[in-house]
Amino acid sequence: MSADSQTTEDRPDEGAPPEDRWRRALREIVESSSMVVFMAIVASMIIGGVLIIFADEAVRESAAYFFSRPGDTFSAIGDALGSAYSSMFNGAVLNLEASSFAGVIKPLTQTLTMATPLIFAGLGLGIGFRAGLFNIGAQGQLLMGATFGAYIGFAFSLPAGLHLLLAVIGCAVGGALWGFIPGILKAKRGAHEVIVTIMLNYVALYLVAWLLSLDAFQREGSDNPISPFVAETAQYPKILGVQFNLHLGFLLALACAWGAWWLMERSTLGFRLRAVGANPSAARTAGMNIGTATIITMVIAGGLAGLAGSAPVLGTQKFLTDAVAGTLGFDAITVALLGRSRPLGIVLAAILFGGLQASGPSLQVNAGLPVDIVVVIQALIVLFIAAPPLVRAMFRLPAPAHEKEVAA
């Protein structure tokens, strides 16, 4: 798990006495922030394990007579952890109990499917973080994107390729529009983007709830606030055949990751955005327009979050409800943080969290554990990642000679 490779390169060589090549390599690995990421995941899994043990009925029952037969407690603990972690593996990576090859790799494709919206939205948030903007509004942007895309998808009938293209563009436009509002309010009125984006999440939620009560959005013959199914011409094609849910959106997300990398690392615009994020005063002195940079960043971030909305409405669920965003917007924040706002890191983090979420049903069925354990592990990972000194202290890792400030 190397979510972050670049921070190891830019550590200055601090003229220490020459040391053994192997020891030096080992020291660099132990000091690296990739090690912190790995250890944070390990620590979160351990704490998650403690919760699983605590909640397991067999463990609690056998703990009642722990001192007379301690072996029972330990075997119950072993059973609880074993069934939890094996069903996680079976649900997210490879299902070793399946009979066919397709059945064995199905969890892996499911993981990638779940990762798709997280990649999109995580990329948008990552660009925002690097430009110094804290966008909590991916949830609302995603919902608006999903609404625009779904409407184009079910209200029009167009030829196959064009329809999908327009629906995907609709998702991006819807999200970008919802990102533009906090952008312009910050640029022109100095309104703090955290507050505005939080509030806009709820405005979007109620707006969509209202739209779904209108005839134009309501599915015929249904009393529930759900939209008609998106036309087949506007759905993402399945890229591995009909037995897998993995759809074209995943490849589009990877393309966006490359695009985000190119934008931030190779383009003039990306350089400007990074400069504004790193030091707004210096950027202003250098003649950059902070307000414009803010608006552009929020529009791009919103557009990517809107594309995340295409994954459910055009890929998996294929219709619009006001719950279509789930908690994707907030999960994407954790993805962007874990991925250190870098595209490669975000893709890997999204696959990790996508896998955790994909394992939910398997945990529920095979281990009898609620899906919430996944949320706990996810939150713990990000908490630990955010505080490298804490993780280093827990595992007694040496501190690097040059401690870098944690990226927002």
Residues near another protein, by CB under 8 A: 51, 55, 57, 134, 136, 185, 189-192, 194-196, 198-200, 202-203, 206-207, 209-210, 213, 327, 330, 333-334, 337, 369-370, 372-376, 378-380, 382-383, 386-387, 389-390, 406, 408
With beta carbons less than 8 A apart as the criterion, state whether 8 and 28 touch.
Answer: yes
Please, what is the minimum distance in Å from the beta carbon of residue 206 to another protein? 4
- 10 Å CB burial of residue 169 (0-12, 13-18, 19+) is middle
Sequence-separated (6 or more) residues with CB below 8 Å from residue 91: 107, 110, 358, 359, 360, 361, 362, 363, 366
DSSP summary character for residue 242: T
Please, what is the minimum distance in Å from the beta carbon of residue 47 to another protein? 10
* Nearer Cβ to another protein (98/184): 184
Beta bridge partner(s), residue 238: 247
* Nearer Cβ to another protein (6/213): 213
DSSP summary character for residue 231: P
Q: Hey, what are 84's tokens?
A: 């939890």
Please, what is the minimum distance in Å from the beta carbon of residue 139 to another protein? 11
Q: Give the separation between CA 273 and CA 301, rounded to whole angstroms.
A: 12
Q: Give the separation between CA 40 and CA 80, rounded to whole angstroms.
A: 22
Q: Give the separation between CA 364 and CA 150, rounded to whole angstroms.
A: 31
* Nearer Cβ to another protein (80/248): 80
Q: Hey, what are 22's tokens?
A: 């192997």
Please, what is the minimum distance in Å from the beta carbon of residue 26 to another protein? 26
Please, what is the minimum distance in Å from the beta carbon of residue 99 to another protein? 31
* Nearer Cβ to another protein (53/172): 53
Please, what is the minimum distance in Å from the beta carbon of residue 223 to another protein? 17
Per-residue H/E/C for 256-303: HHHHHHHHHHHCHHHHHHHHHHHCHHHHHHCCCCHHHHHHHHHHHHHH
Please, what is the minimum distance in Å from the beta carbon of residue 98 to another protein? 27
* Nearer Cβ to another protein (259/368): 368
* Nearer Cβ to another protein (249/360): 360
With beta carbons less than 8 A apart as the criterion, state whether 181 and 160 touch.
Answer: no
Please, what is the minimum distance in Å from the beta carbon of residue 92 to another protein? 17
DSSP notation for 38-65: HHHHHHHHHHHHHHHHHH-HHHHHHHTT
* Nearer Cβ to another protein (115/337): 337
* Nearer Cβ to another protein (248/382): 382
